[in-house]
Amino acid sequence: MQTNRRTSKRQSTMGLLSSMWDGESACIGVVEDVSATGIKVSQIPSRFDKYCQECFSVVHGPLQDFKIILHPSWKLETRKEMYQLIGFEVVNPAANWKEFIAATFANSKQK
């Protein structure tokens, strides 16, 4: 995996969870920040396969859930290697994901 080379503007999130499946095991992670093309998730158990080519995620939003396919871009071991922080690229983001991100950015600018 490569180092963190973000190109899209990121928006920090509060209270979003991601149910993730790597093809063999499922887990829940905490969404730290999002963009139209990426997502950073923390508190992912170390058993999650950080080297999988793609994984499936359901991001649980305040009004709706978003089903997205992710490609791991970078990872960082945390808490004595019990958990991982992983940056993912969102593969072919759906229109509703892009609308959610645009609304998230708009709401943060109003505050």
Tokens encoding 63: 């009004």
Answer whether 0.85 is exceeded by the pTM.
Answer: no
pLDDT in tens, 21-51: 988 889 999 999 988 889 999 999 988 886 7
Mean pLDDT score of the chain:
84
In angstroms, the CA 101 to CA 111 distance is 16
In angstroms, the CA 43 to CA 78 distance is 8
In angstroms, the CA 68 to CA 78 distance is 24
Q: Does the pLDDT at position 111 exceed 80?
A: no
Q: DSSP secondary-structure letter at 37?
A: S
User: What pLDDT was estimated at residue 4?
Assistant: 47
